Chain A
Amino acid sequence: MPLFREPEGGAGVAIRATLKRDLVLMMRRRSEVLNPLVFFALVITLFPIGISPDPELLATIAPGLLWVAALLAALLSLDSLFRSDYDDGSLEQLLLSPQPLPALALAKVAVHWLLTGLPLALMAPLLGIMLSLPAGSYAVLALSLALGSASLSLIGAIGAALTVGLARGGVLLSLLVLPLYIPVLIFGAGAVQAAILGDGVSAHLAILGALLAVALSLAPWAIAASLRISING
């Protein structure tokens, strides 16, 4: 074996490998993928029981309910985003890779969205039926959740990176992240609301897209900086 070989593969190879590794890891712990979905369904079940089974009442609050429940479900799995990497030392290795850390962090966040945000978005229309969500808003519900949950994953990852070094970071993480989720919630639930009222939804979806663009351009750097802080202990 030579003493030294110039690294050949660029950032692309490392990002692809990280994506693959995290996907494999999540698929081997399938319960971690399923738990948020079950949680989502459970919370949605609690509301008719707690409020009233009246379809008309449920229909009026359904957009907000579905969005809030999905947001909380996505939050649930956030704490484990970097935690196991931190505990077993892989995070140090990620930080010491000659590849750009924001890009690698983005790969991890992408996996989180793919296995949390996207399934939640796909499942939401089903739960919408249970809440008698008016017809015509189902596609918008799924689309707004898919778009919005990507922003949620990115913003949440900043909080997860900041708290990963703390023994009990879970509750703190929610405290840090939930206020930052509010704009996404407003426009996400607003899109569904608009679809029900028959208003145009393109403005809402455009704003959700804009929020995602802002999060995509800023969050990776914040995540990288936060990870470096956390690794300092």
Chain B
Amino acid sequence: MSLRLQARKLACERDDRWLFRDLDLDIHAGEIVRVEGPNGSGKTTLLKILSGQLADFQGELYWNDHPMRRTRQDFLANLLYLGHAPGVKAALTPLENLAWYQALAGEPDDEAARFKALAAVGLAGFEDLPAGQLSAGQQRRVALARLELIPRPLWVLDEPFTAIDRDGVAALEGRLAAHARRGGCVLVTTHHELADSPALRRIRLGQGGDDAAL
């Protein structure tokens, strides 16, 4: 299926400071795009803009060659966003957390799929424990289980490797690569160095100054 996220002349000014300017992006199916840059260079902001959360920026976004404003619903139906915070309710069990996400995404209510997704991220046996009793890394894995549960081609992941152990990192990296191979597309920020592959592309954001280079 066709998959194309474009940004033209993207610029974001936050309280009189340019985070980036004249940023042109072209993200296709089968790509892993890593957004790099020092702290405060606007990586999270860029991801929020590209995932349609922020509206106050200059420039245009296109989803499958249509302006984003008109295809927002279609875009959101294709998007899976994992934010800085895992979005996991401490008082709910992993299963209940995933059930809400399933309904929110318009997926059928399928308990077997939830069990499978949790097993895939190494949480078999923890399904019915309140998430608050899990470690930070395990909570992050609950969030990552959404990647297994909800089929969406465009992944926007903000620091997904945070708090994950080495095995988990390797598994997630494999998961990203597999997603790209199958024609999906991943946009990711991370301090973890990703293994080089033909699918991997890097975007560098400048030091929050005037020159945001591609």
Give the B-binding residues of A (Cβ under 8 A): 1-10, 13-14, 16-18, 21, 24-25, 28-29, 84, 87-90, 92-99, 228, 231-232
Contact = CB atoms under 8 A, between A and B. Distances in A.
6 contacts: A4-B152, A7-B77, A9-B103, A13-B103, A95-B53, A228-B55
Contacts of A94: 104
A96 B53 contact: yes
Contact of A232 (B51, B56, B108): B56
Given A17-B102, A24-B92, A28-B92, 14 more contacts: A3-B183, A3-B184, A6-B77, A9-B109, A18-B103, A21-B89, A88-B88, A89-B86, A90-B87, A92-B53, A92-B83, A93-B101, A93-B104, A96-B79
Contact of B105 (A84, A90, A98): A98
A88 B87 contact: yes
A204 B96 CA distance: 43
Given A3-B151, A98-B105, A232-B56, A88 B89 contact: yes
Nearest to B146: A93
B76 A98 contact: yes
Contact of B77 (A1, A17, A28, A98): A98
Contact of B51 (A18, A25, A96, A97): A96
A88 B90 contact: yes
B91 A28 contact: yes
A29 B90 CA distance: 11
Interface string B44-70: 000000011111100000000000000
Nearest to B77: A98
B84 interface: yes
A99 B106 contact: yes
Contacts of B129: none
Contacts of A21: 89, 92, 96, 99-100
B73 interface: yes
B174 to A, nearest CB: 15
Interface residues of B, number: 42
Interface centre among B83, B102, B108 (most CB of A within 10 A): B83
A84 B92 CA distance: 13
Contacts of B153: 3-4
Contact of B91 (A16, A29, A98, A228): A29
Interface string B123-143: 000000000000000000000
Contacts of A90: 87-89
A170 B73 CA distance: 34
Nearest to A86: B85
B182 interface: yes
B182 A17 contact: no
Nearest to A100: B73
A9 B81 contact: no
Given A4-B152, A17-B103, A92 B87 contact: yes
Contacts of A97: 76, 104-105
B148 interface: yes
Nearest to B143: A89
B182 A3 contact: yes
Contacts of B100: 17-18, 21
B66 to A, nearest CB: 16
B92 A93 contact: no
A18 B92 CA distance: 13
B1 A17 contact: no
Contacts of A88: 85-90
Contact of A89 (B56, B83, B105): B83
User: 9 tightest A-B contacts by CB?
Assistant: A7-B106, A89-B85, A17-B103, A89-B87, A98-B76, A9-B106, A97-B104, A28-B91, A98-B77
Contacts of A4: 1, 78, 151-153
A2 B53 CA distance: 26
B60 to A, nearest CB: 19
Contacts of B165: none
Contacts of B106: 7-10, 13-14, 98-99
